[in-house]
């Protein structure tokens, strides 16, 4: 590969990518942020009259999302192999409360009940993930038909209920046997992942037509191999860089393999994204915010659409260290049929290029919460923080609804009005059944979270963004990775002892919004 051309052609993606003062609502922290459409009592909140007027287009796909390890349970049923998450949770001291996903919500056995709940909530799209070790217990070789059968049954139940099955091929549960062969830093995994995707297309492609290779690939690489915050818990920057490139290649392999196996397949993504605002007006912080956007938001999107990585780096991109080879641009290319990304919160970014970098950090849901002196890594040289200007959820994430508008409009502009799906979005609040009201769950803060964020999404649609779907995270309270069961994101409450499901007030509210396409009178403010 011509390294200079590879770099030069990537610069455009990063240049001007930071949200800067005067762009939509955004402003630097130094400038005090910027004003929204009217005065707000709560920083970052949208005015009530805008919420009341919000309308979603006819046919908009209202959905909810989950992930295999977080909801399925049945960790060793029907020939399933061990995943890195099985290994991690079975290791004492790793997960808060010492809990595991061995049972989780037991959706593997209770999926019919869950599909009935989705129907009751008027959902039209269910984003779930397939557990790779259920299909290939050691990550390679012949498929385990019992594992495939489970996903056939799930997809059939969804189709019967008029709900689109939306499949993420990989939401973090790597077969342990592949980690033992080096994990994502091993380039061979791209080929194995392509074979796995081909199996999915061949056996499930008659039922499932909406696919995304990876959930949050940047997090897979960074949290797993640089920060050591998620399994396999390595703290090696070289491994992080290699994992990035294997994931980029694997995305391309999966795209080609599923399309070759299933003529009906459409392929998109489920990237983590957060709008990045520079901390100050300085050129250095604005450039750092652009690097954040290039690395965290569009690194893999740029690879898929253009066969090159967005330039997220200070100085010469470390392509040698990433293991990039001549001709790889053809393998990276995987033009997406639609662009899927999550929205939870925003980031304030500053330049860390004059500081020394150290590894380590922890997982805060969507992003590294690294407090190390030197910023996150020696390549992007950024410090990305989550401000606390807006209110915080119980999971500790700042509520900043206008970030949804800024992010959707930024992707709309940069990628020339792609079809967009919001693949995850939601607030973690710990509301429990209220005994005095027959076990009702009045999670009004979650309703407020959705009202505000969805109003901002409606505003982006009104301003020309082609958003066709929104998936609430999550359908069910579930296993929240290293936080165990101490965070709740569901529209439906789960009692993890009895596995009883109870629709929360937010679930009823969301169901009314899904039926009416309105936030005002369709889903009223209380329950
Ligand atoms: O639960 C996670 C999900 O698996 C990935 N995105 C963020 C969610 C909330 O932390």
Span 121-177, pLDDT tens digits: 999 999 999 999 999 999 999 999 999 999 999 999 999 999 999 999 999 999 999
| Average pLDDT value for residue range 178-189 | 98
CB 147 within 8 A of CB 159: no
Domain count for the chain, please give it: 1
Within 36-141, strands assigned E span 61-65, 125-129
CB count, 10 Å around CB of 509? Answer: 26
Banded model confidence at residue 475, pLDDT cuts 50, 70, 90: very high
CB 128 within 8 A of CB 66: yes
**Euclidean distance between CA atoms 475 and 157, whole angstroms:** 16
Residue 32 has pLDDT above 90, yes or no: no
- The pTM of the full predicted model, rounded to 2 decimals, is 0.93
Choose the residue to mutate in 217, 430, 480 for probing ligand 1, maximizing ligand atoms within 8 Å of C-beta.
480
**Euclidean distance between CA atoms 399 and 247, whole angstroms:** 30
Q: Which residues contact 196 (CB under 8 A, 6 or more apart)?
A: 132, 135, 136, 139, 169, 254
480 C-beta closer than 6 A to ligand 1: yes
> For 46-83, how does the pLDDT look when each residue is reduced to its tens digit (9 = 90+)?
999 999 999 999 999 999 999 999 999 999 999 999 99
From the CA of 172, how far away is ligand 1's center (Å)?
11
Choose the residue to mutate in 218, 473, 494 for probing ligand 1, maximizing ligand atoms within 8 Å of C-beta.
473
From the CA of 211, how far away is ligand 1's center (Å)?
18
The protein residue with its alpha carbon nearest to ligand 1, atom 1, reads 480
**Euclidean distance between CA atoms 43 and 59, whole angstroms:** 32
What are the start-end ranges of the H helices in 463-517? 505-516
Residue 36 has pLDDT above 60, yes or no: no
Give Cα separations from 393 to 294, 384, 489, 507 (angstroms): 27, 19, 10, 18
332 C-beta closer than 6 A to ligand 1: no
From the CA of 216, how far away is ligand 1's center (Å)?
9
Q: Which uninterrupted H or E stretch holds 504?
A: none
* 366 CA: nearest ligand 1 atom: 7
Q: How high is the pLDDT of residue 3? A: 38
* 424 CA: nearest ligand 1 atom: 6
* 478 CA: nearest ligand 1 atom: 1
Average pLDDT, the chain: 90
Residue at 178 is within a domain: yes
Q: Which domain holds residue 420?
A: 3-522
424 C-beta closer than 6 A to ligand 1: yes
365 C-beta closer than 6 A to ligand 1: yes
Residue 522 has pLDDT above 50, yes or no: no
Say what percent of the chain tops pLDDT 70: 87
What are the start-end ranges of the H helices in 107-144? 107-120, 132-135
For 10-19, 196-205, 342-351, 391-400, which range has the lowest pLDDT when averaged over its residues? Answer: 10-19
Q: Looking at residue 31, which CATH number applies to its domain?
A: 3.20.20.80
* 483 CA: nearest ligand 1 atom: 10
**Euclidean distance between CA atoms 466 and 412, whole angstroms:** 8
Residue at 217 is within a domain: yes
Residue at 527 is within a domain: no
CB 214 within 8 A of CB 172: no
What are the tokens at 499? 């596995």
* 365 CA: nearest ligand 1 atom: 10
Banded model confidence at residue 353, pLDDT cuts 50, 70, 90: confident
């Amino acid at each position: 590969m011509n390294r200079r051309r590879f770099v030069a052609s990537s610069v455009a993606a990063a240049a001007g990518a930071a949200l800067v003062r005067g762009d939509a609502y955004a402003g630097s922290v130094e400038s005090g942020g910027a004003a929204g459409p009217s005065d707000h009592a709560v920083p970052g909140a949208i005015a009530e009259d805008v919420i009341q007027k919000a309308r979603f287009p006819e046919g908009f796909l209202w959905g909810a999302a989950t992930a295999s390890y977080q909801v399925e349970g049945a960790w060793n049923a029907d020939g399933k192999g061990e995943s890195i998450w099985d290994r991690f949770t079975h290791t004492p001291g790793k997960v808060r409360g010492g809990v595991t996903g061995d049972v989780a919500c037991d959706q593997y056995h209770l999926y019919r009940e869950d599909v009935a709940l989705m129907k009751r909530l008027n959902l039209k799209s269910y984003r779930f993930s397939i557990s790779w070790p259920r299909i290939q217990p050691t990550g390679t070789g012949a498929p385990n038909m019992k594992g495939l059968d489970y996903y056939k049954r799930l997809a059939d139940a969804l189709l019967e209920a008029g709900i689109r099955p939306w499949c993420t091929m990989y939401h973090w549960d790597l077969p342990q046997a592949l980690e033992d062969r080096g994990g994502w830093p091993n380039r061979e995994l791209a080929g194995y992942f392509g074979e796995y995707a081909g199996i999915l297309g061949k056996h499930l492609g008659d039922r499932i037509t909406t696919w995304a290779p990876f959930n949050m690939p940047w997090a897979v690489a960074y949290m797993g191999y640089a920060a050591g915050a998620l399994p396999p818990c390595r703290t090696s920057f070289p491994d992080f860089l290699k994992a990035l490139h294997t994931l980029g290649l694997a995305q391309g392999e999966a795209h080609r393999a599923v399309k070759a196996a299933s003529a009906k397949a459409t392929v998109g993504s489920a990237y983590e994204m957060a709008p990045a605002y520079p901390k100050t007006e300085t050129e250095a912080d604005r450039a750092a915010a652009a690097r954040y956007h290039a690395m965290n938001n569009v690194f893999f999107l740029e690879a898929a659409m253009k066969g090159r990585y967005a330039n997220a780096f200070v100085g010469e991109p470390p392509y040698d260290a990433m293991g990039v080879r001549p001709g790889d641009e053809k393998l990276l290319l995987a033009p997406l049929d639609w662009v899927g990304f999550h929205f939870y919160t925003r980031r304030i970014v500053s330049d860390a290029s004059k500081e020394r970098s150290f590894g380590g950090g922890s997982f805060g849901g969507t992003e590294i919460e690294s407090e190390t002196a030197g910023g996150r890594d020696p390549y992007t040289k950024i410090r990305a923080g989550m401000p606390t200007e807006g209110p915080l959820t119980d999971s500790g994430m700042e509520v900043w609804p206008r970030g949804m508008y800024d992010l959707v409009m930024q992707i709309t502009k940069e990628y020339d009005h792609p079809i967009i799906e919001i693949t995850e979005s939601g607030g973690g609040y710990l509301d429990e059944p209220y005994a005095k009201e027959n076990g009702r769950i009045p999670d009004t803060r979650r309703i407020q979270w959705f009202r505000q964020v969805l109003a901002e999404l409606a505003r982006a649609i009104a301003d020309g963004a082609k958003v066709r779907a929104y998936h609430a995270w999550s359908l069910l309270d579930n296993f929240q990775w290293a936080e165990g069961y101490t965070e709740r994101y569901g529209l439906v409450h789960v009692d993890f002892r009895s596995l009883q499901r109870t629709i929360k007030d937010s679930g009823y509210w969301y169901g009314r919004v899904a039926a009416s396409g309105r936030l005002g009178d369709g889903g009223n403010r209380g329950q």
